[in-house]
Amino acid sequence: MKKSKRTIKLYDHHEHLSISRIYDIEDQLCNARVTIYAMVENGEVDITDSEVTFYLNGKSCNFRGFKELYASLFSEVEFDNYYQDLCKQAGDALHATYDALKNI
């Protein structure tokens, strides 16, 4: 059987990449290790989750214990703001990395 010549053309495509990046953030109170989980899809970064591990004097803290300590010193609202700010800083660093890759 004779093979016919075929033309293959790309109709559409979908690309995505699952990533996690870990950032250490230091401030006057403590250190935080922030893990950001994201999907890179068609050149766009979508952060799907984040988690923070707190360190005092170089030792990892129990999350609940650190939250209770922080809330007792300041307030629960202040802890929530602090946590969200850490996640935002790490998210901004992630976006800066992937935005820079778009321009290569």
Confidence of residue 100 (pLDDT cuts 50, 70, 90): low
Enter the tokens of residue 44: 């766009």
DSSP-derived secondary structure letter, 74:
S
Q: How far apart are CA 73 and CA 82, in angstroms?
A: 13
pLDDT, residue 43, reads: 74
Residues in the chain: 104
pTM value?
A: 0.80
Q: Is 80 exceeded by the pLDDT of residue 15?
A: no
